[in-house]
A = this chain, B = another copy of it.
Amino acid sequence: MQITILGGGGFLGRKLAQRLAQEGTLGGQPVTGLTLFDLQAPASLPAPFPVRCLGGNIADPEAVKAAIPAGTDVVVHLAAVVSAQAEADFDLGLTVNLHGTLAVLQACRALPAPPRVVFTSSVASFSGGQDARLEDDARQLPGNSYGAEKAIGELLLQDASRKGFLDAVNIRLPTVIIRPGRPNKAASSFVSAILREPLLGLETELPVPEDFAVWICSPRRAVEWFLHAMTMDTGPLGLDRGINPPGRSATVGKMLSALAEVAGPAARARVRHAPDPAIEAIVGTWPASFTAERARRLFGFSEQESLEEIVQAFIEDDLAATRAERGL
């Protein structure tokens, strides 16, 4: 199996690469090569197969072709500018999230055999809000440019699949927690921060009420879903290449209880209430829940683990590196 991860230097790309390196196989077949592509060539990693690390722009068709050579079986397309940045810089969002995905489509189409493409769309491509529990055929009515570009990317890869140019699975990822590193400017940054910062011994602010619900998944679960989507039988998907995976709808209060459960009441006490109507207005339009029937019953995407396990997994996987990165 020849695999390319576009955006392979990011949060989830890195974790997927590490997992592939550990396993050495994908779907029972040996991995024969891995290409990691990102704006800056990602650092390599020890693996039982050759790892190629390339720097380049996803919106540059030639650079993307070089990252997806003949013989590529699977492309995982994670390269994107995220919500806050796409909202602040409309042209950058179009360039990376739309023209980038077009470049991926054309590079795959140029291959002798159509590769599997796993594309990460987002809960931010839907509207709905706190009371929503979206069915699998729910319409995508994005309230932000990032979400619109993700919905467009899905349409492009879905149509390219119908044409036989490639074979796409478009996973609409929930908000992935706990993101390591530093708080960022994403409106949803607080969802990770209220767990990560206290685990680092730092104070942090909660901009929404404790009964505010978010559709979440863990990075471990996201990687499991990627591995599944990279090899699953796509025949039964038919025209519809979109997957709402079985994340979890959790209130902020429940997340903080899990934090207290795993790390003690002192950790939880580091979260201060600081209502921020601007942030609530943005994240309040995202649907808080999905039925995810199709992903579960028809396609065997695995269930999200508990909130306590998510907190524990961050401690095991990312706490030390985050401390080091932030000089704590």
The answer to whether B142 and A240 touch across the interface, beta carbons within 8 angstroms, is no
With A143-B239, A239-B141: A158-B148 Cβ-Cβ less than 8 Å: yes
Residues of A143-186 at the interface with B, using a CB-CB cut-off of 8 Å, are 143, 145, 148, 151-152, 155-156, 158-159, 162-163, 165
- Is A102 an interface position by the 8 A CB rule? yes
- Asked whether, in the complex, the Cβ of B155 is within 8 Å of the Cβ of A148, the reply is yes
A163–B148 Cα distance when bound, in Å, is 12
**Which of A132-140, A220-228, A286-294 is the contact stretch?**
A132-140
Instruction: Tell me, in angstroms, the Cα distance from A31 to B206 when the chains sit together.
Output: 54
Size of interface on A: residues with Cβ below 8 Å to B: 24
A122 within 8 A of partner (CB): no
Question: With a CB–CB cut-off of 8 A, which chain B residues contact A156?
Answer: 148, 152
Chain B residues with Cβ below 8 Å from A102 are 94
| Copies in the assembly, this chain | 2
Determine whether the beta carbon of A142 is less than 8 Å from that of B159.
Answer: yes
CA distance A168 to B47 in the complex (A): 51
In the bound assembly, the distance between CA atoms of A141 and B159 in angstroms comes to 10
Which residues of B lie under 8 Å from residue A152 when comparing CB positions?
A: 152, 155-156
The answer, yes or no, to whether A11 is at the interface (CB within 8 Å) is: no
With beta carbons under 8 angstroms apart, the residue of B139, B159, B163, B240 that contacts A137 is: B139
Are B148 and A159 in contact, CB atoms less than 8 angstroms apart?
Answer: yes
Residue pair A127, B159 in contact (C-beta under 8 Å):
no
Tell me, in angstroms, the Cα distance from A246 to B159 when the chains sit together.
28
Instruction: With both chains docked as a complex, state the minimum distance between the C-beta of A291 and any C-beta of chain B, in angstroms.
Output: 14
Q: Is the CB of A159 within 8 A of B139?
A: no
Q: How far, in angstroms, from A90 to B163 measured CA to CA in the complex?
A: 9
Q: Contact between A155 and B139 (Cβ–Cβ < 8 Å)?
A: no
Contact A145 B127 (CB under 8 A): no
| A239 and B127 form a contact (CB under 8 A) | yes
Q: Roughly how many angstroms separate A127 CA and B242 CA in the complex, as a whole number?
A: 15
Is the pair B142, A140 in contact by a Cβ cutoff of 8 Å? no
With contacts A94-B102, A127-B239, A148-B156 known, is A139 near B139, CB below 8 A? yes
What B residues does A148 contact at CB under 8 A?
155-156, 158-159
* CA–CA, A142 and B158, complex, Å: 9
Q: Tell me if B143 and A162 are in contact (CB < 8 A).
A: yes
Hey, which chain B residues are within 8 Å of A142, CB to CB?
155, 159
Nearest CB of B to A35, in Å: 26
Contacts of A159 in B (CB 8 A): 142, 145, 148
Smallest CB–CB gap between A166 and chain B, Å?
Answer: 12
Which 4 A-B pairs give the minimum distances between C-beta atoms?
Answer: A148-B159, A139-B139, A148-B155, A152-B152
The 9 sampled A-B contact pairs (Cβ below 8 Å) are: A94-B102, A137-B139, A141-B239, A141-B240, A142-B155, A143-B162, A145-B159, A145-B163, A148-B159
Which A residues fall within an 8 A CB radius of B? 90, 94, 102, 127, 137-143, 145, 148, 151-152, 155-156, 158-159, 162-163, 165, 239-240
Given contacts A143-B239, A151-B155, 12 further A-B contacts (CB under 8 A): A90-B163, A90-B165, A141-B239, A141-B240, A142-B159, A143-B162, A145-B159, A148-B155, A148-B156, A148-B158, A148-B159, A155-B155
